[in-house]
Structure formats: structure tokens, C-alpha cells
């Protein structure tokens, strides 16, 4: 049986993650892999209900953080971990790095508290560190906040996060940069401000460079 593979997509709102995740899923399927494509917050009926609350209901930073981790635990138990155990590739549009970027850097939540909550959400009450799940690869779509904001302004009515001011997204962007600096072997930075075709080509090349796609994958 194939070894499960966990790849996450990260970046500020409007960075281009959702525009490219299907392309990678298709390339992996063409290469013979079974792919579970999912997202956070969301991915299960319960987590999708929490997503709707997170994106549209007013709440304070602690409530938001608790809901994000609650959604993640349900998603891990019901979707991510079983798919990895079946030897599938899990492509997840956002994961824990988004929590450190948005609730940590963006909202100013204490990172050590977030780390504790991360362990609790991932390993249960026992806090068993060997059960912690980190992505095998995090594709970080890095774009200047002003570029992302311009894209979203033309795209759709903003949700609660997208309605945040530019300074919030500047903090979130720095939060991602900090996460990438702390885990250089896991993060692969993609210049998301390039033309779509170039972004897609760079994304596929990064996955192929790890031996998970043929070099000529498209
Ligand atoms: N490379 C690109 N050049 C120009 N526009 C782009 C590019 N990539 C995506 N877009 C456009 O930017 C908008 C946001 O793209 P997308 O939804 O993929 O971003 P996202 O990172 O998933 O955002 P969110 O996290 O808010 O869902 C869309 O209108 C999309 O068509
Ligand atoms: C996982 C996660 C997400 N968020 C925020 C980031 C986005 O603004 C929304 C998700 O919407 P998208 O269109 O799917 O990007 O939720 C967060 O604040 N914290 C998290 O852990």
C-alpha cells in the first residue's frame, strides 16, 4: 500500500490557493494516486457548520480560536487521519499554519497557548506528542497583501476575515513568513503574484522535486 501524503495549501485570503489545489489533485490522480481534497475550517458536516459561523458571525478572538480547533479535531478524526491511513494523498486548503498566522499574528493570540491548543486538538486529552500530525509539505502562496486585496475586491462579497483591514493581513502575512522560517524543510514558497500558469508550474515542480510527481507533470 502507498504511504499516505499530507500536503497543505497556505497563504492570505486572495493568495490563489483555491485556484490551484484542483490542478495538483488532477496531476496526482493522473500519476495514479488516490486524492482526498479538503479544506479548513471545514471538511466534515460539523466542521462546515463551524466554518459558516466563523466566516459570518461576530465573535471574540478566543471564541474564534476555540471554534477553529474544534473544527480541526473533527476534520482530523473523520477525514484526514483515515485518508492517510488508507495511503491516500490529502490536499488540504489551510491547516494549523493558518491558525498561527490568523489567530496568532493577526489577532495577537499568545503563540505558546496556540501550541498547547494545537497539541490538545491533535492528540486528545492525553497530549501524546507522538500523535502530532504535521504536513509533509506546505505550499505557501505568498503575495503582497495589496495584491490579494485587489483580487478579492473584484471577486466576491467579503466574509468576516476578508473584511479585515490591510494592517491585519500585513500581520497575517508576517505570521506565515515566521512559520516558514521556523520550518524551512516543510514549507515551499510560491510567488503567488505571478501569472496563474507560472504559479501552477512552480507548484507542480515543487511536488515533483520531492519525487511525488513525474518531472513532466502538468
Ligand atoms: N495568479 C493569479 N493572478 C491573478 N488573479 C488570480 C491569481 N490566482 C488567483 N487569482 C484570482 O484571485 C481571486 C482569489 O483566488 P483564490 O480564491 O484562489 O484565492 P485563495 O487564496 O483561495 O483565497 P481565500 O483564502 O480567500 O479563499 C480569484 O478571483 C482568482 O481568480
Ligand atoms: C484554517 C483557518 C482558517 N482561518 C480563516 C482564514 C480564512 O479567512 C478563512 C477561511 O476561508 P477561505 O476562503 O477558505 O480561505 O478562515 C483562520 O482564521 N484560522 C484557521 O486556522
pLDDT tens column, 4-13: 999 999 999 9
User: Which residues are paired to 178 by β-bridges?
Assistant: none
What percentage of residues in the chain have a pLDDT greater than 70?
A: 100
Q: What ligand 1 atom has the least distance to the C-alpha of 192?
A: 1
pLDDT for 126: 75
pLDDT for 95: 98
Among 21, 12, 54, which Cα is nearest to 152's?
A: 12
Give nearest CA residue, ligand 1 atom 25: 13
pLDDT tens column, 86-125: 999 999 999 999 999 999 999 999 999 999 999 999 988 7
pLDDT for 131: 78
The separation between the first and the last C-alpha atoms of the chain, rounded to the nearest angstrom, is: 25
CA distances from 99 to 10, 70, 175 (A): 11, 12, 10
Among 161, 168, 140, which Cα is nearest to 15's?
A: 140
Collapsing DSSP states into helix, strand and coil, what is residue 70?
helix
Q: What ligand 1 atom has the least distance to the C-alpha of 156?
A: 29
Q: What ligand 1 atom has the least distance to the C-alpha of 94?
A: 25
pLDDT tens column, 136-181: 999 999 999 999 999 998 877 889 999 999 999 999 999 999 999 9
Q: Residues 50, 41: contact at Cβ < 8 Å?
A: yes
Distance 40 CA to ligand 2 centre (A): 7
The grid coordinates of residue 111 equal 503563540
Q: With a cut of 0.95, is the ipTM above it?
A: yes
Among 133, 13, 28, 31, which Cα is nearest to 73's?
A: 133
- Output the average pLDDT for the chain: 95
Relative to beta strand 187-191, strand 137-142 is parallel
CA-atom Rg of the chain in angstroms = 17
Closest ligand (CA of 9):
1
Among 91, 87, 92, which Cα is nearest to 4's?
A: 87
Distance 94 CA to ligand 2 centre (A): 7
Ligand 1 near 75 CB (within 6 A): no
DSSP state of 134: -
Among 112, 109, 108, 80, which Cα is nearest to 93's?
A: 80
Amino acid at each position: 500500500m502507498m504511504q499516505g501524503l499530507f500536503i497543505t495549501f497556505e497563504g492570505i485570503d486572495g493568495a490563489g490557493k483555491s485556484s490551484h489545489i484542483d490542478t495538483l489533485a488532477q496531476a496526482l490522480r493522473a500519476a495514479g494516486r488516490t486524492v482526498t481534497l479538503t479544506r479548513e475550517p471545514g471538511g466534515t458536516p460539523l466542521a462546515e457548520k463551524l466554518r459558516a459561523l466563523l466566516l459570518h458571525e461576530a465573535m471574540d478572538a478566543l471564541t474564534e480560536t476555540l471554534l477553529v480547533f474544534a473544527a480541526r479535531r473533527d476534520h482530523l478524526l473523520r477525514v484526514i487521519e483515515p485518508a492517510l491511513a488508507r495511503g491516500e494523498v490529502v490536499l488540504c486548503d489551510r491547516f494549523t499554519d493558518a491558525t498561527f498566522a490568523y489567530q496568532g499574528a493577526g489577532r495577537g493570540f499568545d503563540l505558546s497557548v496556540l501550541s498547547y491548543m494545537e497539541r490538545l486538538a491533535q492528540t486528545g486529552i492525553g497530549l501524546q506528542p507522538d500523535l502530532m500530525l504535521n504536513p509533509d509539505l506546505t505550499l505557501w502562496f505568498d503575495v503582497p497583501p495589496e495584491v490579494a486585496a485587489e483580487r478579492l475586491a473584484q471577486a466576491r462579497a467579503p466574509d468576516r476575515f476578508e473584511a479585515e483591514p490591510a494592517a491585519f493581513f500585513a500581520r497575517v502575512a508576517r505570521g506565515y513568513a515566521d512559520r516558514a522560517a521556523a520550518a524551512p524543510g516543510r514549507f515551499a514558497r510560491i510567488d503567488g503574484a505571478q501569472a496563474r500558469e507560472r504559479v501552477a508550474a512552480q507548484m507542480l515542480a515543487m511536488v515533483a522535486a520531492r519525487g511525488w510527481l513525474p518531472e513532466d507533470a502538468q
